[in-house]
């Protein structure tokens, strides 16, 4: 089988050697995590059991824990409004959590858009689509800066009019129309125009959380990189493939840790590798087999 055919279905050997469950462990855990977050919000309106109120922009859990999305908080600041203390405390808690544990954990373990873009990436791989062209990976930082400048100029949180991430989260939790449009737009873009286009190149929220977690603790390590047989499955499945090479191939660094803030800690590389090259660890763990 050619290498190209192989990259259509990364992880085939891992499923064969480890079994489906072990080869999909983090995928399943992430889906459960994403679903749990939504269910915490939906148990109230659906079953009258109120756990988390609001949505991912800002919420109150069990009537005590306020959480506010720091990107929305910053947009509000840029628009010239100083949010009240409840939002301030909520944003501080969220910032502390992601700065400590990994900024883009949000993208891979919480955000429902991830399900959409993972599905688009999966289908794109399966169909072998090479169409379209992805914008530069730094575009997201320009969108992030642009959204804050636009907020300052207009005096409103402008980006939230079109932000498909919050639109989808809100629409799902409040049962509003609009969720389908957001899903279709992102799915079509990622499938037909740009591979991993939204989450990996454009989304300013992902960029914000990436910046937030630059020094975060939880990291994936390629500590068994000596076993790598260059099957490329991890590159094929990784939503931010550029983050793997420095750790796996010692390109510009000796450490086996994936330290790039773009890494979402999704763990798919761990899943699909049948050589057990990758593991979750913390950023001070420099152990390596080579």
Partner 1 sequence: MSTNPTAKPEGNPGVSPASVARRKFLNGIAAAAGGGALLTLASWLPVRPASANPAQALRPPGALAGEAFLSACIRCGLCVRDCPYDTLVLAPVGGEVAGGTPYFKARAVPCEMCDDIPCVKACPTGALNPKLTDIHEARMGLAVLSDQETCLNFLGLRCDVCYRVCPVIDRAITLESLHNPRSDRHALLLPTVHSDHCTGCGKCEAACVLPEAAIKVMPVKLAKGALPDHYRKGWEEKQKHGGSLIGEQVEMPVRGLEEKAYGDVRVETPAPSGMNSGWKP
Name the segment binding partner 1 (CB under 8 A); options: 64-72, 116-124, 236-244, 251-259. 64-72
Residue 41's Cβ-count burial label (10 Å; 0-12, 13-18, 19+) is: buried
To partner 1, the closest distance from the beta carbon of 87 in angstroms equals 4
C-alpha 213: how far from chain center? 12
To partner 1, the closest distance from the beta carbon of 156 in angstroms equals 4
- Dig out the tokens for 231 from the structure: 């099957």
To partner 1, the closest distance from the beta carbon of 50 in angstroms equals 8
Name which position in 27, 42, 57, 238 contacts partner 1 (CB under 8 A): 57
Name which position in 139, 216, 264, 274 contacts partner 1 (CB under 8 A): 139
- Dig out the tokens for 225 from the structure: 């990189």
To partner 1, the closest distance from the beta carbon of 92 in angstroms equals 12
Q: Is 83 in the site for partner 1 (CB under 8 A)?
A: yes
C-alpha 85: how far from chain center? 28
| Distances 245 to 38, 56, 91, 257 between C-alpha atoms, Å | 34, 33, 33, 10
> Between 137 and 241, whose beta carbon lies closer to partner 1?
137
Q: Is 40 helix (H, G, I), strand (E, B) or coil?
A: helix
- Dig out the tokens for 260 from the structure: 């790039």
User: Which residues partner with 220 through β-bridges?
Assistant: 280
Evaluate whether 94 touches 68 at the Cβ level (below 8 Å). yes
Name the segment binding partner 1 (CB under 8 A); options: 9-17, 108-116, 164-172, 266-274. 164-172
Footprint of partner 1 (CB under 8 A): 44, 53-55, 57-60, 66, 68-69, 72-73, 75-76, 79-81, 83-84, 86-87, 90, 135-136, 138-143, 145-147, 149-151, 153-163, 166-167, 170-171, 173-174, 176-178, 181-182, 202
């Amino acid at each position: 089988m050619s290498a190209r055919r192989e990259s259509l279905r990364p992880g085939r050997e891992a499923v064969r050697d480890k079994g489906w469950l072990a080869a999909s462990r983090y995928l399943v855990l992430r889906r459960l995590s994403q679903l749990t977050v939504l269910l915490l919000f939906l148990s109230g309106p659906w079953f009258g059991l109120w756990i988390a109120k609001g949505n991912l922009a800002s919420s109150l859990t069990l009537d005590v824990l306020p959480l506010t999305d720091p990107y929305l908080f910053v947009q509000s600041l840029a628009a010239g409004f100083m949010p009240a203390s409840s939002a301030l405390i909520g944003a501080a808690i969220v910032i502390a959590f992601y700065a400590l544990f990994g900024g883009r954990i949000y993208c891979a373990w919480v955000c429902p858009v991830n399900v959409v873009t993972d599905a688009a990436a999966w289908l794109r791989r399966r169909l072998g689509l090479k169409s379209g062209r992805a914008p530069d990976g730094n575009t997201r930082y320009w969108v992030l800066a642009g959204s804050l400048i636009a907020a300052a100029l207009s005096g409103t949180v402008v980006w939230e009019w079109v932000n498909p991430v919050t639109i989808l989260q809100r629409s799902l939790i409040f049962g509003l129309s609009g969720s389908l449009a957001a899903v279709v737009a992102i799915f079509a873009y990622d499938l037909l125009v740009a591979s991993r286009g939204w989450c990996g190149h454009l989304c300013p929220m992902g960029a914000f959380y990436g910046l937030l977690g630059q020094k975060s603790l939880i990291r994936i390590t390629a500590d068994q990189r000596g076993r790598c047989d260059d099957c490329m499955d991890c590159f094929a499945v990784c939503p931010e493939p550029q983050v793997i090479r420095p750790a796996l191939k010692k390109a510009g660094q000796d450490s086996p840790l994936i330290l790039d803030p773009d890494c979402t800690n999704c763990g798919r590389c761990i899943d699909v590798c049948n050589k057990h090259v990758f593991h979750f660890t913390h950023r001070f763990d420099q152990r390596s087999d080579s």
